[in-house]
Structure 1
């Protein structure tokens, strides 16, 4: 039983440490998400340390939805969500 558990843990660790995307895909994804990231940083800098409640909620929603697609390897859906949620982030300033 112990060796079976160890083998299972080793398999999970192996899956977690393997890259999900090729370097080219990862570079493309980072380039596509950069404007949203820069916008997020600009808004945070603008509002200093205190962000309105709506802004926090919009950021959490963005991170949850886009992050879920990225972790699943669904790059196209993540990019579509970036485009769809961008106006919501801008409006939540």
Structure 2
């Protein structure tokens, strides 16, 4: 988890994916898992950069703890880097 300080999108770069051509579905969430994406979710593939739309600061204020939630239809592992503020 990280602290979000402004109203920019989250930055995510998926650097590893265990399956070729596979993807994970990612979206913005608070530290407790509450979604703040309002149905904006992204299919993230290996090597892809995504900017995740969110309303964390607008709804909960600056300094809120956030994370990225994910799911997959396969049993995959993925890795990458992310930032709560994309500036």
Q: Report if TM-score (shorter chain) is over 0.5.
A: no
Larger relative contact order, structure 1 or 2 (CA cutoff 8 Å, min sep 6): 2
| Structure whose CA Rg is larger | 1
Under a length normalisation based on structure 1, what TM-score does the superposition of the two structures give? 0.25
Q: Greater strand percent: which structure?
A: 2
With structure 2 as the length reference, what TM-score do the two structures score? 0.26
